């Protein structure tokens, strides 16, 4: 069998559009899971029992249900009770909620690993609760959390391919269309493999750089 990638050239702009959509969804969902995850991590480490309980239920629920089921529930289930959300928004929200559950886990362990005396020093210096969190707790937790968070984010990018099942023509969605148009699934999916591998590799480079930056005081010890 001969592999002829030139066959795909006319479809490249279309697939590029899909890739761009994937990038958009992922960037938004990444920010979304970071915000949701940070908030939920705060809730799960708070002194308020009710808040802690509620946040744990959230994390357990969304970690233990297949993503595609969550997605179908939002996209095909909610309209039954009168809630309509477009595919793009549904995708971003669903990924943020699911990603947030895993991110909250990672940030929570980062917070629990902080030497309590460091937080106490910030408290007695007169910083408000929110300042203690934004200036000390979160950045110190991130020093240990960035790397595991990187794995969560890469998973999020991979999971975004599932959005093609709710009519969103992101990278995987466009690939499916091109494959059936050209009857060349091998070539199409080779390109897709490379595209996802490149995307996640770039993210892992970014995470490594961020990890070095956050731990720059430790110099060569961190790689």
Contact residues: other proteins, CB under 8 A: 115, 117-118, 120-128, 131, 135-136, 139-140, 143, 214, 216-218
Q: Which residue's CB is nearer to other proteins, number 83 or number 124? A: 124
Cα 32 to Cα 29, 112, 126, 181: the distances in Å are 5, 22, 31, 35
Q: Which residue's CB is nearer to other proteins, number 18 or number 110? A: 110
Tokens encoding 163? 């959005």
CB of 127 to other proteins, least distance (A): 6
Tokens encoding 49? 């029992």
Q: Which residue's CB is nearer to other proteins, number 179 or number 214? A: 214
Q: Which residue's CB is nearer to other proteins, number 136 or number 199? A: 136
CB of 103 to other proteins, least distance (A): 20
Round to whole Å and give the CA distance between 183 and 181.
6
Q: Which residue's CB is nearer to other proteins, number 5 or number 118? A: 118
CB of 105 to other proteins, least distance (A): 22
CB of 99 to other proteins, least distance (A): 25
Round to whole Å and give the CA distance between 41 and 159.
22
CB of 46 to other proteins, least distance (A): 16
Tokens encoding 120? 């106490």
Q: Which residue's CB is nearer to other proteins, number 51 or number 119? A: 119
């Amino acid at each position: 069998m001969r592999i002829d990638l030139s066959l795909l050239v006319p479809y490249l702009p279309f697939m590029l559009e899909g890739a761009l959509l994937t990038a958009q969804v992922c960037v938004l969902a990444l920010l979304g899971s970071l915000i949701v995850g940070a908030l939920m991590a705060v809730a799960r480490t708070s002194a308020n029992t009710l808040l802690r309980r509620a946040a744990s239920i959230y994390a357990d629920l969304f970690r233990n249900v297949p993503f595609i089921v969550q997605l179908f529930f939002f996209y095909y289930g909610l309209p039954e009770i009168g809630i309509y959300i477009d595919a793009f928004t549904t995708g971003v929200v669903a990924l943020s909620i699911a990603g947030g559950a895993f991110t909250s886990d990672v940030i929570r362990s980062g917070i629990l690993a902080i030497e309590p005396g460091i937080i106490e020093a910030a408290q007695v210096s007169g910083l408000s609760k929110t300042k203690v969190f934004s200036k000390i707790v979160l950045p110190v937790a991130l020093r240990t959390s960035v790397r595991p968070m990187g794995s969560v984010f890469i998973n999020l990018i991979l999971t975004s391919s599932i959005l093609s099942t709710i009519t969103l023509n992101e990278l995987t969605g466009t690939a499916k269309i091109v494959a059936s148009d050209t009857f060349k699934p091998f070539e199409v999916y080779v390109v897709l493999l490379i595209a996802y591998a490149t995307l996640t590799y770039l993210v892992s480079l970014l995470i490594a750089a961020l990890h070095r930056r956050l731990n720059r005081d430790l110099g060569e010890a961190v790689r």
